[in-house]
Chain A
Amino acid sequence: MHAFEILEYVAWGVAAVLGLWMLFDMIKTDRSYSEEFLTSSKEGEIRDALVIDPPHQGGHL
């Protein structure tokens, strides 16, 4: 097995891990919150929307 083949397997592995991570997180989120809450975003109400969980600014703070 040459180095590039190893790189290919690493690419498959990382893609699988990230894909499964998203799937797991999606299922966890769906189970943790009510469907009504998750789909409560409304166009035009953005300015007035109550901000939940303020410390979490989209996963970047």
Chain B
Amino acid sequence: MTTDEKTTMSSLPDEHRTPLLKRLTGANTLWIGLVLLVLVATFGAIRPDAIFQVTTLQFLLAETAVLLVLSVGMTFVIITSGIDLSVGSVLVFASVSSALAMNAVSGGDATNAGWGVIGFGLVVALVSGAVWGLLNGLLISRAKIPPLIVTLGSFGAAQGAALLLNNGSNVSGIPDKLNRTFGSGTYFGIPNIVIVAAVVTALGALLLSTTRFGRYTYAVGSNEEAARRVGISVRGHLTKVYLLAGTLAGLAGFMGNAFFRVAVVTGHETDNLNAIAAVVLGGTSIFGGMGSVLGTVFGVFIPAVLEKGLVIIGVREFWQPIAVAIVLVAAVWLDQARRRARNQR
């Protein structure tokens, strides 16, 4: 007892902090980052000429930018131990309504529209995403319907609504100006759409790791009851998190418009699953309470690099989903094993 007491007192000035290196190696973000690095290095060693080409990298980044924005929102949702299956459909809905709105204010065709119209289109995309997110959030937090069911519902509903808006066809007439600047434009060789995604990701990472909002996100996912008892408004916070995910899906829809020059109504059916896979690959626990945006960035790029790399080294691309599946299941298995070991004490 006395010796025990002594150690407590003598170690008072220290902050009892675990050394940085130990904290880093203990985090699975580091390991998943290494996996990505190894993948890039392996493909690079086999075909350095094809992999490290500016256009290859530009394409890889630009194609991944939209998924990255969806996945940042998904990271917050999954850390609250929730799930959002609706992101792909909300993306389509926002993309279609934004394109239709831009056309409507330009007399039917917005191809030659200016910045005012583009700004209006952005606001429409964000608001339509936010509305679906808010609906998800309210149904989950107030009506207490499980997130899986609520977002399965809005997954179908948002897709259906998007098809109704334009009778099931794609919407063309995206302003040229938008495409030239944000779609295909680059800044020092980096596609502008990638810069937008990077800024969103950085803001998301800061929001999650340094602010009270982020802290509450972890707390709600870790132990909802504990969060409620210390006076955190759990219902309000869950609503905000789904609102954030929906708004980011709206932004992703707008980015898609800029990149593809058309609002497409198909091709986003598995965005939700890709985003969930990226988040979980990145070390965020599907049971909530743990995770990081940086991990999600790695998780987004692992499937993308696998896909591109396999094609370039001449392996049939059908192997890609199989390879991703193996990594994904292994990641969750590791997470569970770690939790069991930790909770045994």
A-B complex is real: no
Binding site for A on B (CB under 8 A): none
